[in-house]
Structure 1
Amino acid sequence: LIYKQNNLYGISIIHAFLRVIKILCRKFNEIRSLQNISRETAFLIVLWTISLPLWSGFVSIFQIAGSNLVLASEIGPKIGSPTGGGLVIAGIVIGICFLVGSIIGLRWNWKVWLTCALLFYIPWILFHTTFFDNINGVGSGLWQSLGYWVVQQGESRGNQPSYYYLLIIMLYEFLPLSVSIAAVIYYFKKKDAFAKFLIFWSLATFLIYTIASEKMPWLLVHITLPMIVLSGKLLGDYLKNETISTYINLKVSSLMLLTLAFLFFVWRLAFFGIDGKSDNFWMLVLLIFGTVLVLFGFVFLLRGDFYKNSLKVICVTLILILFGLTIRSAFVATYKNGDTPIEMLVYTQTSPDIPALARHISTIELKSGSKPTVDVDATSGFQWPWAWYLRDIALAGYPQYGQHLPSSMMEQQVLIIHSQNKLAVQETVKDRYGEGSRFKHRWWFPEHTYRDLSLKKIVKSVFDRSSWVRSMDYFVYRDLNHNLSSEDAYVYFDDAEMRKFRSLELE
Structure 2
Amino acid sequence: LSYFLFGDNDFTARLPHALFSIATIAFAWTFRRHLGRTGALVTAVLFMISPYLLYYGRYARNEALVGLFGLLMLWSILRYIETGLPKYIYFLAASIVLHITAKETAYIYVAQALLFLAGYFIYRISKRPWGKPKFRSPFLLAVILGLVLLGAAGFLSRLTKDGPGTGLFGLTISPGVVEVLGIVVPVLALAAVLILLTAVVLLFYGFSIHNLRKERSFDLLIVTGTLFLPLLTAFPLKFLNWTVPTSASGVNGLVLTDMIKMGSVLILMFVIAIVVGYWWKGVVWVKSFVLFYSIFAVFYTTVFTNGAGLFTGLLGGLGYWLVQQGENRGSQPWYYYSLIQMPIYEYLPLLGSLLAGILASLGFRAGGRIISGPNNGDITAAPEGGELTEPDQIPVIEEPERPPVLPLFGFWSVSALLAYTIAGEKMPWLTYHITLPMIPLAGWAIGALIDTIDWRKFFRSNGLVVLALIVVFFLSLGGSLSSMLGNNPPFQGKNLEQLSATSTFLIAFIAAVISGGSLLYLISRWKVGQIARMATLTFFGLLAVLTVRTSITANFINYDNANELLVYAHAGPGIKNALSQIEEISQRTNNGLGVVVAYDDQKTYQYWW
Does the alignment reach a TM-score above 0.5? yes
1:176 aligns with 2:387: no
Give 2:234's aligned residue.
60
1:318 aligns with 2:539: yes
Give 2:435's aligned residue.
224
**SS at the partner of 2:332?**
coil
Alpha-carbon shift at residue 373 of structure 1 (Å) = 2.7
Alpha-carbon shift at residue 378 of structure 1 (Å) = 1.7
**SS at the partner of 2:337?**
helix
**SS at the partner of 2:570?**
strand
Alpha-carbon contact 1:217-1:346 (below 8 Å) kept:
yes
Pair 172,129 (structure 1): closer, same or farther in 2 beyond 3 Å: farther
Give 2:597's aligned residue.
374
Give 1:431's aligned residue.
none
Following superposition of structure 1 onto structure 2, how do residues 441-456 of structure 1 map, counting pairs within 5 Å?
Answer: none
1:253 aligns with 2:464: yes
Q: Distance in 2 between matches of 1:184 and 1:32?
A: 31
Alpha-carbon shift at residue 326 of structure 1 (Å) = 2.5
Alpha-carbon shift at residue 258 of structure 1 (Å) = 2.2
Pair 315,99 (structure 1): closer, same or farther in 2 beyond 3 Å: farther
Give 2:212's aligned residue.
32
Give 2:37's aligned residue.
none
1:309 aligns with 2:481: no
Alpha-carbon contact 2:449-2:537 (below 8 Å) kept:
no
Alpha-carbon shift at residue 320 of structure 1 (Å) = 2.1
**SS at the partner of 2:326?**
coil
Give 1:444's aligned residue.
none
Aligned length: 358
Give the alignment's Cα RMSD to 1 decimal: 4.8
Following superposition of structure 1 onto structure 2, how do residues 398-437 of structure 1 map, counting pairs within 5 Å?
Answer: none
Give 1:153's aligned residue.
325
1:383 aligns with 2:604: yes
Q: Distance in 1 between matches of 2:334 and 2:135?
A: 49
Structure 2 residue runs without a partner (length 5+): 1-128, 137-202, 366-403
Give 1:265's aligned residue.
476
**SS at the partner of 2:327?**
coil
Alpha-carbon shift at residue 204 of structure 1 (Å) = 2.7
Give 2:426's aligned residue.
215
- Percent sequence identity over aligned pairs: 24
Pair 52,369 (structure 1): closer, same or farther in 2 beyond 3 Å: farther
Give 2:559's aligned residue.
338
**SS at the partner of 2:470?**
helix
Following superposition of structure 1 onto structure 2, how do residues 122-141 of structure 1 map, counting pairs within 5 Å?
Answer: none
Q: Distance in 2 between matches of 1:376 and 1:251?
A: 69
Q: Distance in 1 between matches of 2:539 and 2:406?
A: 22
Pair 156,189 (structure 1): closer, same or farther in 2 beyond 3 Å: same
Alpha-carbon contact 1:377-1:383 (below 8 Å) kept:
yes
Alpha-carbon shift at residue 45 of structure 1 (Å) = 3.3
Pair 365,323 (structure 1): closer, same or farther in 2 beyond 3 Å: same
Q: Distance in 2 between matches of 1:348 and 1:330?
A: 18
Pair 133,310 (structure 1): closer, same or farther in 2 beyond 3 Å: farther
Following superposition of structure 1 onto structure 2, how do residues 460-475 of structure 1 map, counting pairs within 5 Å?
Answer: none
Pair 245,217 (structure 1): closer, same or farther in 2 beyond 3 Å: farther
1:45 aligns with 2:220: yes
Alpha-carbon shift at residue 327 of structure 1 (Å) = 3.0
Q: Distance in 2 between matches of 1:289 and 1:191?
A: 37
**SS at the partner of 2:426?**
coil
Pair 266,146 (structure 1): closer, same or farther in 2 beyond 3 Å: farther
**SS at the partner of 2:244?**
coil
Q: Distance in 2 between matches of 1:186 and 1:100?
A: 41
Pair 152,195 (structure 1): closer, same or farther in 2 beyond 3 Å: same
**SS at the partner of 1:178?**
helix
One-letter amino acid of the counterpart of residue 206, structure 1 = L
Give 2:336's aligned residue.
164
Pair 31,20 (structure 1): closer, same or farther in 2 beyond 3 Å: closer
Pair 49,293 (structure 1): closer, same or farther in 2 beyond 3 Å: farther
**SS at the partner of 1:160?**
coil
One-letter amino acid of the counterpart of residue 261, structure 1 = V
Alpha-carbon contact 1:339-1:352 (below 8 Å) kept:
yes
Which gives a bigger RCO, structure 1 or 2 (Cα 8 Å, sep 6+)? 2
Q: Distance in 2 between matches of 1:187 and 1:31?
A: 30
Q: Distance in 2 between matches of 1:52 and 1:177?
A: 34
Q: Which moved more, 1:173-182 or 1:92-101?
A: 92-101
Pair 77,351 (structure 1): closer, same or farther in 2 beyond 3 Å: farther
Pair 77,256 (structure 1): closer, same or farther in 2 beyond 3 Å: farther
Give 2:25's aligned residue.
none
Pair 365,237 (structure 1): closer, same or farther in 2 beyond 3 Å: closer
Alpha-carbon shift at residue 178 of structure 1 (Å) = 0.6
Alpha-carbon shift at residue 174 of structure 1 (Å) = 0.9
Alpha-carbon contact 1:341-1:348 (below 8 Å) kept:
no
Q: Deviations 1:158-177 (Å, cap 9, x if unpaired)?
A: 11111111110111211111
Pair 283,219 (structure 1): closer, same or farther in 2 beyond 3 Å: closer
**SS at the partner of 1:374?**
coil
Alpha-carbon contact 1:57-1:147 (below 8 Å) kept:
no
Q: Distance in 1 between matches of 2:442 and 2:455?
A: 19
Alpha-carbon contact 1:61-1:150 (below 8 Å) kept:
no
Pair 161,19 (structure 1): closer, same or farther in 2 beyond 3 Å: closer
Pair 165,20 (structure 1): closer, same or farther in 2 beyond 3 Å: same
Give 2:582's aligned residue.
361
Alpha-carbon contact 2:133-2:206 (below 8 Å) kept:
no
Q: Deviations 1:409-460 (Å, cap 9, x if unpaired)?
A: xxxxxxxxxxxxxxxxxxxxxxxxxxxxxxxxxxxxxxxxxxxxxxxxxxxx
**SS at the partner of 1:268?**
helix
**SS at the partner of 2:566?**
coil
One-letter amino acid of the counterpart of residue 317, structure 1 = T
